[in-house]
Structure 1
Amino acid sequence: MVTRGKVCLISGVLLVLLSAQFGFTAPSMYGPKGLFRVISADPEDMGSFSMNLHLFATQPSLDTGYVSSDTVDTFPAGATDGYGQAQVHISMSYAIFDIWSLYFGGHFIGDAVETENVSGRSRSPIGPYMGYDNRRSIGLGDMQVGTKLTWPLLSSESESKVVLGLDAFASFPTGTKRDTVLTQSGGDILENQGGVFRFFSSNGYDGGGRLLFTFRSPGETPVLFHANAGYIYRSFVPDMIANQLVAGFGTEVQIGYITPFIEITTEQWIHDSEEIYGNPPIRISPGLRFSTPVGLAFDLGGDFRVSSENTTPIDEESYVTTGVGTCPPWAVHIG
């Protein structure tokens, strides 16, 4: 059975094995220097190399509908299932020059649903409704490569004060493709490929870019403000209806080896696609970064959704994640 205790144990093991960022910069989830999702325009030292291992995990409990095995009646609520998500991001970045760096990365993804065996609930799934067998899917996500250019505008001898930047990236469909065929595993677990309630791959060659802005205050305890704005193009979905505008804002205070920070990020549909894909996410993510003199950094933080819940059922043909997989109410970051 997929229990919460097992989820906590797995998360703890991943914390020990995967919580170090190797290098002399503090990378974001995607590879370039930054916070969690917000990328800094700050230049990186020429020749610097960083490697990032980042865990994102959550298991919210949601009220779900089910089908009775006795009467085949549909109950709109009555069961409470735990929807577990985990992603391990692995990325590397190298600064060819102070103003130009390259990065690439990928991720491992896991979905799990701990179902409640309420009286009368069908064991097997019926239509969009899950049975009381637990669900699981583990696989690879798409690979991303990118480059970051920076232009210091105002600077002193010791540090840049205002920096502009450009981040351009491309994504390749290396992730596990979704397959709805279920196989029995471990007695009470049904498995499928490519995600239970998410798509592990977009099934297309995608790309995009972000404009970057960073302001750094002078002094021994600098305050940094970051802003990102960009665009994501998805090739698999026709008519550009799944393309998105992305934006993020963050601030951090560097106090010796400890850096508290907070960011707000969102992905908004370009067209009137909410009727198709549901409400777009907005999240606030506070965190703490612990640096060391030897170039290791450790991040700890979380996501808190501030937008309305996305309740749109998943469309098996779109390769666009909707519903609970879009933006969970909360999540933990360890990196």
Structure 2
Amino acid sequence: MKISAVIPAYNSAKFIRAAINSIQAQTSKVNEIIVVDDGSTDDTEQVVKEISSAIIYHKQSNQGPSAARNKGIELANGDWIAFLDADDQWTTDKIAKQIQTLQAYPQLHLLAGDMTEIDNDDQLITKSVLAKHHLLENFQHLAGKPIPNALAALVKKNFIPTGTVLVKRQTLLEAGMFNAEIRFGEDLELWAKIATHHPITCLPEILMLRRQHGNNATQANERILIDLAKVMGSIRCYAKQQLIEQSVNPDQLVAEAYWTLGYWHFNFGKRREAARAFAASLKQQFKLNSLVFFLSSFLPTPLISTIRAIKQQFAKPL
């Protein structure tokens, strides 16, 4: 078993040393570290080359993290790939725990795990993200076993942090790697492709410290929701039968994604965009609630405000 660690980096000089150090400090060593510099304009290259000449460093024009990870996968010599973002860190026994799990369940193609969130000063924000989303107990019960109906679980809530993943390189290649056309949710799309055909698991143990700061992509809500609708449509396209077998309605999956996007637009007064999203939701699956919001998108803003005020008044306890 040969493991390649892939780090996509963009203007990461401030944090990448800690990320690389966390890989080098593993109790079970990886075979190579690959840094794909995605067009940095700071001292990222200098910092990386100061750390070790053994690190494989590749610089390319800025194309986004998916393209950078894909390049790392292409450059890798390992038969297993582990990912880590340049501002995050692994716990020292991350790889060891995953190898131990693989020895118990060799049929696994992908292993993820829990993570802790920290701020820019390394102060604790969230001790366990799985616990935060009420998922920890279920994974504790599984204790590393392959997740039953993993695809259905993933489309309900993406429980796989990319920086905790250890995955077969060949499986990544067969799945088409990361979709560089999608900026948000491209990881969910890839994990769902893999879970459609292969056993995966998520360990109920902290494998990574994820740095949460203002530049994290997950804070761009509108673009996330737009891409989420694309991702759900993609998943339905390649895994429709598997979704049905796992008691998930594929059309409802896509319809709900468009409804959520429409509701976001509606709440922020973007009525034209809201109407388009609600229409897309209705096209996938008819629901009275979607129709009501679609029609409401054409009402004057003062009238909507009046209706909301009346609704809130009746909602107050007598």
TM over 0.5: no
What is the TM-score of this pair, normalised by structure 1? 0.20
Higher-helix-fraction structure: 2
